[in-house]
Amino acid sequence: MATNTDSLSKRLVWITLLIIAAGVLIVLISSQRNEASQDIRLGAHPDIEGQPTLGEIGAPVSVVEFGDYKCPACKAWDESILPQLTVDYIETGQVKYSYINTLFHGEESGLAALASESVWNQNPEGFWQFHKEIFRQQPPSQNHDESWITPEKLIDIANEVDADIDLEQLAIDLVNQTYIAHVMADQEQVQAFNVSLTPSIVINGTMVEDPFDYEHMKQVIEEALEEQ
């Protein structure tokens, strides 16, 4: 009898331990789900046809930034996150990165977007230097509401980068709004994907909750690579 009781107690102890372990597992799983659910599965990925794209066109994972040249957070993202993404994934051929103009800061956003489309169409190789330099010359964030993007400023920036940009053509394109249809096509995607903040980052159809959480972005990229 004593043996049976012992064995029963042992079984009860094991059952209790298993119940506790299962409880811990459920808590762990549900917290991961909560964390993951902060990202938004879009059901589709933005169309990157005709968009400036860095990296190998056949790269399995596409990262899209909805960005605005007048947005301080976009400057910060370009200067802090993009360089890491470039070294870790773009240069290795795993990720291609595309930029879609998002006009959340009025006329100046539109002007910079028009200039970027002009430079992209005349000189795709030089585009990224121009793109980076606009962000670099964005005034410190406490002054971001002050006006600084003008046609003259954009032409100066194009002149300063070593990218062989046709300045006369850029000036004509800004006056004539040559690439307004491209800028408007970008805005259609902004609306289609309910973009409400810049930068918004989409990785193979998943809009990440925090574009500055690079470790989490890496997880989403790794999962997308595993799905290939």
Q: Write the binding mask 42 to 61 for Ca ion: x where contact by CB under 5 A, - elsewhere.
A: ---------x----------
Closest-by-Cβ residue to Ca ion is 186
Q: Which is nearer to Ca ion, 39 or 117 (CB)?
A: 117
Whichever of 181 and 197 has its CB closer to Ca ion, that residue is: 181
Of 89 and 179, CB closest to Ca ion = 179
Residues 103, 74: contact at Cβ < 8 Å? no
**Token pair recorded at residue 217:** 């972005």
Toward Ca ion, which CB reaches closer, 51 or 198?
51
Say how many C-beta atoms besides its own lie within 10 A of residue 127's C-beta: 23
Q: Does 68 sit near Ca ion (CB under 5 A)?
A: no
First to last CA, the chain: 60
The binder of Ca ion chosen from 78, 108, 173, 186 (CB under 5 A): 186
Task: Tally the C-alpha atoms within 13 A of residue 197's C-alpha that lie toward its C-beta.
Answer: 12
Q: How far apart are CA 40 and CA 54, in angstroms?
A: 24
Residue (of 62, 46, 70, 39) closest to 190 by Cα position: 46
Compute the least distance from the CB of residue 59 to Ca ion, in Å.
19
Crossing angle for the helix pair 106-122 and 167-176, to the nearest 10 degrees = 130
Nearer to Ca ion, 39 or 173 (CB): 173
Question: Rule CB under 5 A: is residue 173 a binding residue for Ca ion?
Answer: no
| 65 binding Ca ion? (CB under 5 A) | no
Q: How far is the CB of 68 from Ca ion (least distance, A)?
A: 12
Q: What's the Cα-to-Cα distance from 56 to each of 61, 86, 189, 200, rounded to whole Å?
A: 10, 12, 23, 22
- Site map (CB under 5 A) of Ca ion, residues 132-171, x = contact: ----------------------------------------
* Interface ranges with Ca ion (CB under 5 A): 51, 186
